[in-house]
Amino acid sequence: MVPLHVKQTIYFMYNSSQVQQDFIAVIAAHAQYLVNHSAQRIILEGHADERGTREYNLALGERRANSAKDYLMTYGVAGNRLSVISYGKERPVNSGSNPLAWSQNRRSVTVKAN
């Protein structure tokens, strides 16, 4: 797992898979960790808020996770060490139905692969 002092989650704007400037440092820290731990593999989990169809949100979650993956690869992390999975709107961290909940559910989470 990326060290606990490093955030595991990056967030996205509504209907977007573009990594925001605020989260480039988070991805850079993940990349540095992965460069220093060459055997470590990770999974990038893509998520969406509750709005939209299941199919649309699965595709959006995948685009979000792939955006994080693409950034990691620009820092020199080999793509074969990075897996992507989308949960769409199926695994919210906040079950509310309001702007705060939606903003917390639009995310990509970095987790250690088994």
Report pTM.
0.92
C-alpha neighbours within 13 Å on the C-beta side of residue 72: 31
Residue spans of the domains in the chain: they are: 9-112
* pLDDT score of 5: 47
* pLDDT score of 7: 74
Determine whether domain 9-112 maps to CATH 3.30.1330.60: yes
* pLDDT score of 73: 97
CA 101 to chain centre: 17
**Which pairing describes strands 9-11 and 42-47: parallel, antiparallel, or unpaired?**
unpaired
Q: Backbone phi, then psi, for 75, in 5-degree steps? A: -90, 5
The string over 23-36, giving b where at least 16 C-beta atoms fall within 10 Å of a residue's C-beta and e elsewhere, is: beebbebbbbbbee
* pLDDT score of 81: 96
Q: Which two tokens stand for residue 7?
A: 């955030």
88 contacts 54 by C-beta, under 8 angstroms: yes
Question: What are the per-10-residue average pLDDT scores of the chain (114 residues)?
Answer: 65 97 94 93 96 97 98 96 97 96 96 85
